[in-house]
Structure 1
Amino acid sequence: MRTARSIVRALPVLAAALALTAVPSSATPSWGPLGPANPYLGPLGTATMHGDAGSSDVTPLAGPGTDRVAPAGDPMAAACPTILQGSDGMIVALCTAIIDRAPTVYLFDPAKGPIGPPAAKMSLTKGSLLGGVYAYLDNENRLVVVDGERRLLRIAHNRDASGKWGLTVAENTDLTAAIPEGDAVTGLVPDWSGNVWFATGAGLVGKVGRNGAVTTHQLPAGERVANSISASPDGVAVATTHALYEFAAGGSGAPTVKWRASYDRGPARKPGQLSWGTGSTPTYFGPGDGTEYLTIVDNADDQVHLLIYRAGTGELVCNQPVLTEGGPGSENSPIGIGRSVFVASTYGYPYPTVPGDAGLAEPAIAPFSGGMTRVDIDDQGCHTVWENDVRSAAVPKLSAADGNIYTVLRLGLGLTTPLDGYAYGVIDPATGAVTAKQPMSATIIADTLQMAGLTTTDGELWQGTITGIMRIR
């Protein structure tokens, strides 16, 4: 029997499905369902780095497609891992300056191309390397982020009387009483009641109520959080360097562990990863309401595995070897939609720097051989549908509207060099075949550094690079 709550939860999914106007590819009649839209986030697909609260890396918007594209770039002297679009169409980017690694918020008007100069910008207080990377747009198009002074900020953009855009701090919640000095927020996400959940590098999980009250739960010593966190209507998922957790608000309102599942973290950090443990932001997905399952990739020594758990209970549904044709490691959040999960290898990717607590990589360097795997789940368990040797240099995103996976491909050989080129790439999720590969001029694109791109409402791809933003249309 369907409860009123389950019907309400289904409405955002139905609305998102009805909003899809493009026709999926003939090879894949449909991709869905999309995860439920969080009422405290901006538009589905464009308000978080990974597309939605559940970190599915799926968008309901159609991308540039397989035809020839026109890329344009803007050198900003900053790496831009978070690029978002609000309901007003404005682009908000959170970038890290190359010189001092201070986070900076940029506002762009996509109607004034190709990209820059920005309509407005604001510098934030510097924190840890991963602090100031994860942020989201709320339902009022405000950027929600925690700065280096441990303040939860909501940054609004507005025009003044002369029509000039500006950025202002609309809300400021002090978290210093809850977060010890020396620690920093890694990831944050709103729940379906409007509370903001966060996790720090040192394993502190917190919840900021709509009234500003802060409650926390400290994870076991030694467990660190090096990726963002995810939410469904029934829980909040946090992956540490040792285990995957699902939380809920307890009777007192404080974060309470629903379940914990340890995984094989391997003997050390691998090259191409930023921490010793999973590189995954946990992904909610499923064939019903889009949240039945929760998945990450482990860090086992010789062969990594896709681990799929049943959300709510933590039951391990399957443990499937992945990336058997490529490098055995992934720093990227898996794509998850319906009964399918897609995993891209980052093993050996040459990050210019890693967090100070990441530890040494073993081996120190390795070839970036790439590789991607699709795994499907059904009543009998999991099975691999395909594997390829794609060298994805960005976080791949799947468009449920046009049935394409979009990414940037790194050219060259396995042993990467600064002379490697890059190409706009489109992958068929049904077969794993590359259906478009357009090399791009070195004057337009720099290293995309495994950062996530944004598919906009105009069908463009805005992709962060190590030196700025690339716009593909």
Structure 2
Amino acid sequence: MPLRRTALAVLLPLLALPAVAIPSLAPALAGPGTADRWTAAPAMPANRYAGPDGTSSMHGDAGASDTTPFAGPGAGAVLGQPVVLGSVCPTILAGSDAMPIALCTEYVDRAPTVNLLDPQTLLPLARLHLSAGALLGGVYAYVDDRDRLVTVDGGTGDVVRIAHTQDGPLGTWQLAIDDRFPTAPAFRKACGSTTCDAIATVSPGYDGRIWFATSAGRAGYVAPRTKRVVLRTLGAPGTSKATEKVFNSIATGPEGAAVTTDHALYLVRATRTGAIRVVWRRAYDRGPARKPGQLSYGSGATPTYFGPRTGHEYVAITDNAAPREHLLVYRSDTGRLACSAPLFAKGASGTENSPIGIGGSVFVASTYGYPYPAGTDGTPSEPASADFTGGMQRVDLTRDGCRTVWRTDVASSAVPRFSRAEQVIYTVTRDANQVYRLVRISPDTGAELSSLTLGAGPASDTLQMVGTILPGGTLLQGTIVGYTAMRPGS
């Protein structure tokens, strides 16, 4: 996930670092993706407890594929008026009613505010302020099958479901907590107090449970019908105390919940008695230290489910090895390492972003050297700073392992999103002059297909946040002051 730091720190060191290009292996400008290849690729199976595919979570779906079934604004995109809220907006979702919901972090108290947006004007219709908690409280949230936002109230630690309603056909809109699931007793039992740990991320389970991970390296769930809360400490075999931490979102698939800690990737699921079972654990090379352009020591990747047959037979993360990190692809059922591939250039290899997974292909964007204001885990980066080099790489699974298809020097400043309908990759780029552009990239070649200038300077910084494509083709991109809309041209 791209945003994990205090909101106040966002406003401090906003000086751009110069971009350093790496050689591009992409051929000349090409058209959109090969139709047969990408349209035949299976998506994650529908999760009956989650909202619509593409808009229900920060990474598009419960499996964090970072794909969407919707076409974006296209080559003729029109830039809308930026909406300034005085807050950082990393999470913009929408339910089956197509009402956008922006979850933003306030500057003053570092707490999340839920903003219900008008689908036409994209201006706030209603707001609900929550309390700050782990990883800015509710940055990692999702929309459920009843269009409710599921997140965490940092003040109490409770998991909450927030509904939006309208007073009559022409009445005002309101946001209110529809359900509250107390977690304090479970934490008191697990670690001795209600403040010893906190929920960092939530995701809808295919089993109907609300799965979550905590900052101190625990996996857990809420059973909505009974309000039962179950926790399990993650760690190497034989470890009973919490020794690992979670700084990224989790992903859920039919096999279970995939959790990345700063040491290992886990697959967990509930047994018949309701206990949490670790199906498999795979430690990865976490490298010697946090790298510049990363927010924590260890993997910066939310796990990504993908696969050419079912859409979820594999799960991918990145490690933090030096001098080059690797894409790691595991069988989701057994945890067997299917293949690995080195990423980006030696000495300038690192990412804080979730990969895109579609069919047998994975796309990874580099964040090495991105000028984040600060890390979130208290560790210094080594080196202390570096130029933002950029870079994107496509890796395909083959019978012989992982094969790099192309690398480009695109300087992505947002989490890329793959439009399955349009067969292009959308992202935002940043250049040495701190100019931000919406670009469309060919998944076949890595070539840039179109570009639209969004703005320049600190206020336009997209800070590696994800853009969400709505059903009508509008793309909403979070910035450090609010969000920007790109609509399809006439």
TM-score scaled by length of structure 1: 0.90
What is the aligned counterpart of 1:152 among 151, 155, 159? 159
8 Å CA contact 2:366–2:392 kept in 1: the answer is yes
Q: Which residue in 2 is equivalent to 1:73? A: 82
**Residue 157 of structure 2 aligns to which amino acid in structure 1?**
R
C-alpha distance 263-443 of structure 1, shift in aligned 2 (>3 A): closer
Q: Deviations along 1:30-87, whole A, 9 cap, x unmatched? A: 4221111110000011000000010000001100112243232111100011100111
Tell me the distance in 1 between the aligned counterparts of 2:346 and 2:448: 16
The answer on 1:218 being equivalent to 2:219 is no
Alignment of 1:282-293 (within 5 A): 282-293=303-314
Picking from 136, 142, 149, the partner of 2:148 is 142
Pairing partner for 1:106 from 115, 121, 138:
115
- Give the 5 Å matches for 1:220-299: 220=235, 221-299=242-320
Q: What is the aligned counterpart of 1:205 among 182, 203, 219?
A: 219
Q: Is the 8 A contact 1:335 1:341 kept in 2?
A: yes
> Separation in 1 of the partners of 2:453 and 2:106?
27
Pick from 369, 372, 381: which aligns with 2:401? 381
- Over the aligned positions, Cα root-mean-square deviation in angstroms equals 1.6
CA contact (8 A) 2:291 2:350 kept: yes
Deviations 1:333-355 (A, max 9, x none): 00001000000001111112332
SS where residue 277 of structure 2 aligns? Answer: strand
> 1:326 touches 1:372 (CA, 8 Å); kept in 2?
no
Distance in 2, Cα, partners of 1:128 & 1:349 = 23
Aligned to 2:181: 173
Unaligned 5+ segments in structure 1 are 1-23, 413-418
Structure 2 residue aligned with 1:399:
419
**1:188 and 2:195 matched:** no
Tell me the SS of whatever aligns to 1:134: coil
Residues of 2 paired with 1:376 and 1:272: CA distance?
Answer: 25
Structure 2 distance, partners of 1:107, 1:53, is 21
Structure 2 spans left out of the alignment, 5+ residues: 1-30, 188-193, 236-241
In the alignment, the residues of structure 2 paired with residue 252 and residue 402 of structure 1 have an alpha-carbon distance, to the nearest angstrom, of 45
Counterparts in 2 of 1:359 and 1:65: CA distance versus 1, 3 Å = same
SS of the residue corresponding to residue 245 of structure 2 reads coil
- Compute the displacement of 1:26 (Å): 5.7
Query: How far apart, CA to CA, are the structure 1 residues paired with 2:454 and 2:414?
Result: 15
What CA distance in whole angstroms lies between the structure 2 residues aligned with 1:455 and 1:68? 12
Give the residue type in structure 1 aligned to 2:303. Answer: P
Q: Are 2:344 and 1:323 equivalent residues in the alignment?
A: yes
Question: Aligned partner of 2:232: which letter?
Answer: H
**Structure 1 CA distance for aligned equivalents of residues 319 and 378 of structure 2:** 16
> For the structure 1 residues 78 and 442, does the alpha-carbon distance in structure 2 shift closer, same or farther, using more than 3 Å as the test?
same
Relative distance call for 1:440 and 1:60 in structure 2 (3 A) is: same
1:133 aligns with 2:139: yes
The one-letter code sitting in structure 2 at the alignment partner of 1:410 is R
CA distance in 2, matches of 1:354, 1:185: 19
Report the alpha carbon displacement of residue 254 of structure 1 after superposing the two structures with TM. Answer: 1.7
Q: Using the TM superposition, give the Cα deviation of residue 443 of structure 1 relative to its aligned residue in structure 2, in angstroms.
A: 8.3
Report if aligned partners of 2:426, 2:440 keep a CA contact under 8 Å in 1: yes
- Alignment identity in percent? 51
Q: Are positions 1:343 and 2:367 aligned together?
A: no
Measure the CA separation in 1 of the matches of 2:218 and 2:453: 43
Is the deviation greater in 441-450 or in 49-58?
A: 441-450
- Shift, 1:438, TM fit: 2.0
Letter in 1 for 2:110: R
Contact map agreement 1:278 1:298 (CA 8 A) in 2: yes
Taking a change above 3 Å as real, the CA distance of residues 52 and 358 of structure 1, as seen in their structure-2 partners, is: farther
- 1:39 and 2:48 aligned: yes
| Alignment partners' CA distance in 1, 2:46 and 2:378 | 34
- Which residue identity is paired with 2:143? L
CA apart distance, 1:379: 1.9
> Once the 2 structures are TM-superposed, how far is the Cα of residue 28 of structure 1 from its aligned partner?
4.2
Poorly superposed stretches of 4+, deviation over 4 Å: none
Residue 470 of structure 2 is matched in structure 1 by 456
Residue 308 of structure 1 deviates from its aligned partner by 0.3
Aligned residue pairs total 440
1:26–1:314 Cα change, 3 Å: closer
Report whether the alignment pairs 1:124 with 2:137. no
* d(CA) in 1 for partners of 2:148, 2:178: 8
CA distance in 2, matches of 1:354, 1:124: 23
Amino acid aligned to 1:232: G
Secondary structure of 1:88's counterpart equals coil
Q: Is the 8 A contact 1:65 1:404 kept in 2?
A: no
Matched, 1:410 2:430: yes
Secondary structure, counterpart of 2:386 in structure 1: coil
Kindly state the Cα deviation for residue 160 of structure 1 after the two structures are TM-superposed.
1.2
Looking at structure 2, the residues matched to 234 and 68 of structure 1 have their Cα atoms a distance apart, in angstroms, of 39
Secondary structure of the equivalent of 2:450?
Answer: strand
